[in-house]
Amino acid sequence: MAGLATGCIIFIPIALRIGRRPVYLVTSLIMFGAGAWQAETHTVGDMIGMNTIAGIAGAVNEALFQVTVTELFFVHQRGTMNGIYFMMVLVGNYLGPVYGGQVAVTMGWRWACWSATVFTGIVTVLMFFFLEETKYIPAPLNGHDPRVTTSSPTDNEFSKINSTAKTPLPNDSPASVDSMDQQSDTVEIDHSIPMNSYWKRHALLTLDKHESTQKRTFWRDVYEPFQLLATFPAVMFAALQYGWSIAMLAILAVTQSSLYSIPPYNFTAAGVGNMNIPPFIGAILGAIFGGPLVDWSIVQIAKRRGGIYEPETRLWLFLVPGLSMTIGCLMYGLTIAKGMPWIINAVGAGFIGFAIGGGGDMSLTFLQDSHEHASYPNSNRPAMV
C-alpha cells in the first residue's frame, strides 16, 4: 500500500509530460518483472521488495485510468466506462485468488505466480502493438500556434459600446427555435481530416511543448495535487470514498486468507480462494449500478431540468452503496469474529463488494465531472489516500 501511494506521486506527473502510453508500457514491464520475482522469492526481504516495486508500478492502474477515461469519453459515458474498468479490476482481485487457490493445491503456489506473470507478459505485448496514445496536443489553427501566447488588450484598449436603439429585438417563433435546436443536436464529422498514422498513434513519447507546460516544473505537478486535495471538497470526497474502498479490498483479502484457514473454518487454499466469489458478484452488480444505471439517471434528470446537468446529481443514488458498505462491514466482521457459518460471512462480503464497485465508480466519476479542468492532477489523490 505504501508503494501504491508513492507510485501515484511519481508516475502521474511523468504521464502528463511524456504521454500516457510510455507510462503504461514501462509500469507493465515492471509488473512483469515483479511477478517473476514473486515466483522465485525465498526470503522475507524478497517479499517486501517485490511488493514495494509492484505497488509503485501498480499505482498507474489506480490513478492514470481516470485521465484516460476523461480524455476519451463524454460526460454521460464516463460512469459506464469507469464501471467497466472497475469490473475488470474486480475480476482480477476476486477471481484471481479463486484461480490461484486451485493452482496452488494442484501445482504449487509458485505456479500460481508464474501463471500471473505469463498473463502480464502477454498483455504487455498486446499493449505495445495496440494501445494508442490518448494525450492530445492541439495543432495550430489558421496560422496561430497555441504554444505562443499573445498579449491581451488592457481595459483602456477596449472601445466603449453605447446602445441607442429603442426597437425591441424580435421574438423567435417556435418553428425557428425548433429548427435551431435540431441543428444544435446534429453533430457533423469532417471525414476529410486524415487520421494520424499508426506510428504516430503508437509513439513511445508524446511531448507536450505547450508554453504553459514548459513553464511548469515537475515538482509543481507533484505538490499541486496536495493543494487541490485540501482546497476542493469534491477531491477530498472522492479521495476518502475511493481510499476506503481500496482499504476494504485489502482488509477482505487479508482477513480471508488468515481467518478461513484456521478453526472453526479450516478451509484449504482452494476454499479460501472460493470465498472471493461472493464479493466478486456484489462488485459486478455494484459496477453496473454505479455505471450504466447512474449514467441513465443523470440523463433523465438533465432532461427534466431543460438540459442542465450538475455533477451532484450523480450522488443522489450514493445512499445505496453507502448503506451497502455499512451493512456489509457489520455482517462480515461481527459474524466472522463469532465463528458463525461461512454463508453469513459471504453475504456480508457480497454487500462490501457491491459498495466497492458502486461507490468507487460514482465518487470518481463525480470528481471527473466536477473538476474536469483539474482532473489530471487530481487523479492520483484518491488512489494515494
What local confidence, expressed as pLDDT, does residue 66 receive? Answer: 81
Confidence of residue 149 (pLDDT cuts 50, 70, 90): very low
Residue 134 CA from chain centroid, whole number = 15
What pLDDT is attached to residue 151?
46
**Looking at residue 49, what is its pLDDT?**
92
Candidate from 84-98, 210-224, 321-335, 357-371 with smallest mean pLDDT: 210-224
pLDDT above 70: percentage of residues in the chain? 81
Task: Kindly report, residue by residue over 24-46, the tens digit of the pLDDT.
Answer: 999 999 999 999 999 999 999 99
Place of cell 469474529: 337
Output 124-128 pairs: Cβ under 8 A, ≥24 positions apart: 124/25, 124/28, 124/29, 124/32, 127/24, 127/25, 127/28, 128/25
Contact 97, 5 (CB under 8 A): no
CA distance 385 to 383: 6
Output the CA–CA distances (angstroms, integers) from residue 64 to 19, 77, 238, 256, 371, in the order listed.
11, 18, 15, 29, 16
Model confidence band, residue 96 (pLDDT cutoffs 50, 70, 90): confident
d(CA 370, CA 235): 9
Look up cell 466497492; give the residue: 356
Q: Predicted confidence band at 179 (pLDDT cuts at 50, 70, 90)?
A: low
For residue 159, what pLDDT band results from cuts at 50, 70 and 90? very low
Lowest mean pLDDT among 5-9, 26-30, 327-331: 5-9
On whether the CB atoms of residues 367 and 233 are closer than 8 A, the answer is no
Q: Across 230-239, 243-252, 342-351, 368-377, which has the greatest mean pLDDT?
A: 342-351
The pLDDT score that the predictor gives to residue 6 is: 83
What pLDDT shows up at residue 171?
52
Q: Which three cell numbers stand for residue 38?
A: 514473486
pLDDT of residue 156: 47
**Cell numbers 492502474: residue:** 61
pLDDT of residue 91: 85
- For residue 369, pLDDT over 70 is answered with yes
pLDDT at position 71 is: 87
Quote the pLDDT of residue 150. Answer: 46
* Helices 233-259/342-370 angle, 10° precision: 160
Q: Is the pLDDT of residue 152 over 50?
A: no
- Domain 2-138+215-384: give its CATH architecture: Up-down Bundle (1.20)
Mean pLDDT of the region 345-356: 96
List Cα–Cα distances, 80 to 69, 83, 368, in angstroms: 10, 5, 13
